[in-house]
Amino acid sequence: MKGNQQSEEIDYMPKLLMPPDKVGLKICEKIKAIRELEKKTSKSMEFGMWRRETETLLIHAFGPKAKQVHDFKEIRYSPMIYVTGMDTHPSYLSGLQSARECLLAIAEEITEFYLDNAMQSTGSVSGTKPISENAIANAGTVSRKVFIVHGHDNEMKVSVARFLEKLGLQPIILHEQPNGGKTIIEKFEANADVAFAIVLMSPDDEGRERGKESVLNNRARQNVILELGYFIGHLGRARVCALERGASEEPSDILGVLYVPYDANDGWKIQLGKELREAKMPIDDAKFTAAIMA
């Protein structure tokens, strides 16, 4: 019993074993890495390496019994109860969000307590540079950029863009961005660093299987389908939403992607807003309500 008590001891006031500015910057780097990890899975090599490296960093900085280490190790990235066929990715994303909040709190603690104490006692932190004022803020910042993939339906494109602006988000429409001497694909890649993508599946084209006399099916334009696949691979399915106007042929290789009906009664706004919130996009409650009612 005594051995168990010792193993569960937690040091709530640990001494910092490394220069505070160095630890702070390394933690900020780990926070920034979470953005890319959201595109991976809990079984990916990248996530496993990040988790081990972050835990090791905290142990070296605070010691193995420190509360900071304990809090990070307690974070779950999988469901408490698993049922065969369950989608575990939402639990993984929730765990990453908890890790982000945990590391942000530690970084702020280092800046407000450890770094200040070191500078007050010595007048400076010997041999190191202070943490920049925006380092922690930038590490925890979630991008407000949302890429809008569209076809020929201008009304649909404008409505979605204005809705995003009312939510405080930044819609990215490719033809509105400066060319900068780039080719179309170069321009696309340069503007694809976003936090979420909305794909407008408007029935702009018609088609059918070759050799069959069946009725022509409504289809989204080929560039829309291509960019839908690109963003699923780039951001992950949880950060891509397809808005569908009318009945269109859906690509068989990407069944399972969320399709939200673009209806005349603006019900799409509520559903799209829920998906944006589920993806942890920075949306203010008051702005959300106002945008839905507009």
Last residue of a domain, one of 81, 107, 137: 137
At what angle are helices 45-62 and 89-109 packed, to 10 degrees? 30
Same domain, residue pair 177 and 232: yes
Lateral strand order in the sheet of 240-244:
170-172, 145-149, 196-201, 240-244, 259-261
pLDDT tens digits along 43-78? 999 999 999 999 999 999 999 999 999 999 999 999
Pair 291, 273: CB distance under 8 Å:
yes
Q: Assess if residue 173 is contained within a domain.
A: yes
In sequence order, what DSSP letters do the residues of 197-211 get, joined into one string?
Answer: EEEEE---EEE--TT
Q: Which helix (H) or strand (E) holds 241?
A: strand 240-244
Same domain, residue pair 275 and 160: yes
Better pLDDT: 239 or 3 = 239
Average pLDDT of the chain to the nearest whole number: 82
pLDDT tens digits along 14-33? 999 988 878 888 898 899 88
Q: pTM higher than 0.75, yes or no?
A: no
As a whole number of angstroms, the distance between CA 292 and CA 290 comes to: 5
- Geometric angle at alpha carbon 199, from 198 and 204, rounded to 5°: 150
Same domain, residue pair 154 and 287: yes
Helices (H), the chain: 2-7, 20-37, 45-62, 67-73, 89-109, 116-122, 135-140, 154-166, 184-190, 222-235, 267-278, 285-293
Same domain, residue pair 166 and 232: yes
CA end-to-end distance (rounded Å), the chain: 62
Residues present in the chain in total: 294
As a whole number of angstroms, the distance between CA 294 and CA 291 comes to: 5
Q: Assess if residue 3 is contained within a domain.
A: no
Q: Which pLDDT band holds residue 120 (cuts at 50, 70, 90)?
A: very low
Q: In the chain, how many domains are there? A: 2
Q: Which pLDDT band holds residue 123 (cuts at 50, 70, 90)?
A: very low
Q: Which helix (H) or strand (E) holds 242?
A: strand 240-244
Q: Assess if residue 17 is contained within a domain.
A: yes
Same domain, residue pair 85 and 103: yes
Q: Assess if residue 1 is contained within a domain.
A: no
| Chain centre to alpha carbon of residue 193 | 11
As a whole number of angstroms, the distance between CA 39 and CA 50 comes to: 14
Phi, psi for 290 (deg, rounded to 5)? -65, -40
Same domain, residue pair 116 and 41: yes
Q: Assess if residue 4 is contained within a domain.
A: no
Pair 67, 12: CB distance under 8 Å:
yes
Same domain, residue pair 17 and 121: yes
Same domain, residue pair 20 and 157: no
Last residue of a domain, one of 83, 116, 137: 137
Same domain, residue pair 131 and 220: no
Last residue of a domain, one of 108, 137, 166: 137
Same domain, residue pair 203 and 249: yes
| Chain centre to alpha carbon of residue 129 | 30
Pair of tokens at residue 267: 């019900």
pLDDT tens digits along 233-289? 888 888 899 998 876 666 655 555 668 888 878 889 999 998 998 888 888 888 888
As a whole number of angstroms, the distance between CA 77 and CA 90 comes to: 9
Predicted local distance difference test score (pLDDT) of residue 43: 92
Same domain, residue pair 216 and 288: yes
Pair of tokens at residue 127: 């041999």
The domain of 157 spans 145-293
Q: Which residues have CB under 8 Å from 149's CB, separation 6+? A: 197, 198, 199, 200, 224, 227, 228, 231
Phi, psi for 141 (deg, rounded to 5)? -75, 130
Comparing 105-109, 188-192, 244-248, 286-290, which segment has the lowest mean pLDDT? 244-248
Q: Assess if residue 2 is contained within a domain.
A: no
Q: Assess if residue 5 is contained within a domain.
A: no
Predicted local distance difference test score (pLDDT) of residue 205: 67
Same domain, residue pair 162 and 282: yes
254: left (phi over 0), alpha (psi -120 to 50) or beta: alpha
Q: Assess if residue 225 is contained within a domain.
A: yes
CATH number at residue 206: 3.40.50.10140
